Amino acid sequence: MKRIIMTILLLTIFFSFSGCINKNNEIPKESTKIEKSQIEDKKNKVNIILFYPSKEGSSLVASSRSATFNNSLERTIIEEFLKGPQNIIPNGTKLLSTSRKEDTIILDFSKEFNNISTENLTLLNNSIYSIVNSLTEIPGIKNVIIRVEGKVPKINNISFENPFKRNRNLFNRDKISKPNDILKKQMKFEALGKWLDAYLLYSDDENNTYRKYFDDYVKENEEAFAQGFISKNFTIGNYTVDTTGTHALVKVKFNDTNRELNIGMIKVEGAWMVDWIPPQ
């Protein structure tokens, strides 16, 4: 009896399973389409950084998100701002166009942009620099021009005549810690897979040709992390500073391999940051 019951169960499972497979033993097309769609969707995703005003309104705070890439990084970043959750850009505003000329990004918004809050001048200023600092996070970008339907907007006493440049005074950066302390913190973040925290300790010097955007940095480090190439066992040693006082080398020993390297550090407006130059 047990054999008969078992045979019936096995036959039922077999025919149920065979109904999901065609004569050529292929997975149904619907399943293939879903898998292809998921792969394509992943390819179209890009990791971006958006800066928002802090709760007290005196500084900018970084937020990372995975967004669907749309033609360019600058357009993708602005479209994410338009989605919210904070109303950096007024509701109903449309991005009419974006263009890039050498080191400058030019944005053209619809007339609704003029409705940006002007009651709090500090908040207004920080909202503008939320956009500017997010776009100048892109390597090589030094300037952002904002237009409304092709014209120079007149909003409160903020001048839109000239291009906006990156405002680092709105970042709460550690200007006290020494180069080796900053590097130790940055490498610990990487060892934990905290990519945003680690990336924000890298230099944002616009002139550094080795500099990478956040998306490239994340994808390269995720792969290195998965393959075990990011060491969790290291010792940060002493450092030396050059005669200008703006560049330093920090000794790092990787305990698992006994390899020693000098990691470059650079002082950017009073704060030591990890330089993008290759280790020595």
> What's the mean pLDDT in 82-99?
91
Give me the residues paired with residue 249 across strands.
240, 264
Q: Are residues 161 and 205 in the same domain?
A: no
Residue type at 123 in one-letter notation = L
Q: Are residues 96 and 135 in the same domain?
A: yes
Q: What is the pLDDT of residue 20?
A: 40
Q: Are residues 49 and 166 in the same domain?
A: yes
The string of pLDDT tens digits covering residues 21-58 is 444 455 455 545 445 444 455 568 999 999 999 987 78
Q: What is the pLDDT of residue 216?
A: 97
Q: Are residues 151 and 185 in the same domain?
A: no
d(CA 59, CA 173): 10
pTM: 0.83
Q: Are residues 166 and 183 in the same domain?
A: no
Cβ pair 243, 174 in contact under 8 A = no
**How many CB atoms within 10 Å of residue 85?**
7
Q: What is the pLDDT of residue 279?
A: 87
Residues 6+ positions from 104 with CB-CB distance below 8 Å:
141, 142, 143, 144, 145, 163
d(CA 267, CA 16): 67
Q: Are residues 206 and 155 in the same domain?
A: no
Question: Vertex 134, ends 131 and 138: CA angle to 5°?
Answer: 130
**Shortest CA distance to 267 belongs to which of 230, 234, 242, 233?**
242
Domain boundary among 148, 170, 192: 170
Cβ pair 47, 62 in contact under 8 A = no
To the nearest 10 degrees (0 to 180), the angle between helices 121-135 and 73-83 is: 140
> What's the mean pLDDT in 169-181?
97
Whether residue 10 is predicted with pLDDT greater than 50 in this model: the reply is: no
- Alpha carbon dihedral 86, 87, 89, 92, in 10-degree steps, equals 130
Q: What is the pLDDT of residue 35?
A: 54
Residue-wise DSSP of 199-214 = HTTB---TT-TT---H
Helix (H) or strand (E) holding 263: strand 259-268
Q: Are residues 201 and 219 in the same domain?
A: yes
Domain boundary among 139, 170, 201: 170
Q: Are residues 227 and 142 in the same domain?
A: no
Whether residue 231 is predicted with pLDDT greater than 90 in this model: the reply is: no
Whether residue 217 is predicted with pLDDT greater than 50 in this model: the reply is: yes
Q: State percent of the chain over pLDDT 90.
A: 71
Question: How far apart, in Å, are the Cα atoms of 245 and each of 181, 186, 200, 212, 264?
Answer: 17, 21, 21, 25, 13
Q: Are residues 256 and 220 in the same domain?
A: yes
pLDDT tier for residue 8 given thresholds of 50, 70 and 90: very low
The string of pLDDT tens digits covering residues 127-153 is 999 999 999 999 999 999 999 999 999
Q: What is the pLDDT of residue 5?
A: 38
Q: How many domains does the chain have?
A: 2
Specify the CATH number for the domain of residue 247: 3.10.450.50
pLDDT tier for residue 208 given thresholds of 50, 70 and 90: very high
Question: How far apart, in Å, are the Cα atoms of 238 and each of 150, 178, 185?
Answer: 54, 10, 15
